[in-house]
Chain A
Amino acid sequence: MRYSYGIMDRGKIFLYKAQLFLKSKDLLVFPSSDFHKWHSDIKEYVDGLYQIDFSEMESGKSINLTELNLAVGVLNNITEELEHLFDSEKVSDFSYHYVSTLDDKYKKQRSSYTSDMRRCDMQIHVISEEMKYKHIMEIVDEANRDFSRAFKEGRTCRLSKMKKKDHQ
């Protein structure tokens, strides 16, 4: 996203990277320290959600309702933070600043596409006795066709040879 820092000077803002903005576009201006604090707060909550996910993955068990409730609670906190962004009376708490150091391996995406779904999609049939019989019969038919063709060709070959002999 395009962003620029700037400094407040005599009721106006002096932009450091003014070339990023078109004249017709509206701007949104936040105090930079407050905004960074807000950003880090939300990152903290999101990292928390990733941690719930990872603890669940590591234990090998599926997620339970308690963990879902916890996740929804964390989400409500994010919603509150989002609302505070436009609440001018809300003062940021600068007592600490969270820096996200969560490794990317904890953020791995797992798809909800399971092997059972794959089986349905690929239409993998279970091989039954009937199908086995059908398959054998197909092979026998094919062999029969090949054999009869070869037999016919052999006969015509022999016939033509015999005709040649007669002429001689």
Chain B
Amino acid sequence: MRVSEGVPDGRIAELYNPEMFQKHEEVIVFTKEEFNRTYISIRKQIDYINKIGLHLDRSEEWKLIGYWPKIMQNVHRIDMNMDLIFKKEPIQSYLDAYLYDNIQSSQNKVSVSEKEAITKIKLSNLNLL
């Protein structure tokens, strides 16, 4: 999606990449900090579920009885976060603390790709073995 950062200046916001948008196009504006927190929170929930999926021994299906409610809890959190984007209430993820919470402006570094995360986990498993 086309995206740009900017800074507010009174009723007007200055953009870093104004060429991204068309003339007289309607835009939606968030504060970077709040959006960042929601976005990271959603990614954390997804990572958590993926880890459960990866580490579950496929021969031990019965363990799913315990894991499934946990997975659904995380799905619920994703849903809450998505709803919060268009709500006036302060966002819940302000209560979450992340030690490495320095997202950079570079577009490539904003999201870690799924494959990369999986290979990393696999590698760490190999090291353990």
Query: Interface residues, chain A, CB within 8 Å of chain B?
Result: 1-9, 11-15, 18, 21-23, 25-36, 38-39, 42-43, 46, 49-50, 53, 56, 62-65, 68-69, 71-72, 75-76, 78-80, 82-88, 90, 92, 107, 109-112
By secondary structure, the A interface counts as: mixed
The 0/1 profile, CB within 8 Å of A marked 1, for residues 67-96 of chain B is 011111101101100101111001100000
Contacts of A31 in B (CB 8 A): 1-2, 21, 25-28
Residue of chain A at shortest CB distance from B35: A28
Besides A5-B29, A8-B18, A29-B4, 13 new A-B residue pairs in contact (Cβ under 8 A), listed by A number:
A3-B86, A7-B26, A14-B11, A25-B8, A31-B2, A32-B28, A35-B28, A36-B28, A46-B78, A64-B64, A78-B78, A87-B107, A112-B66
Contacts of A90 in B (CB 8 A): 1
Count A-B pairs with CB separation below 8 Å: 229
The 0/1 profile, CB within 8 Å of A marked 1, for residues 27-62 of chain B is 111111111001100110010011001001010011
- Interface size class for chain B? 35 or more
Roughly how many angstroms separate A29 CA and B21 CA in the complex, as a whole number? 10
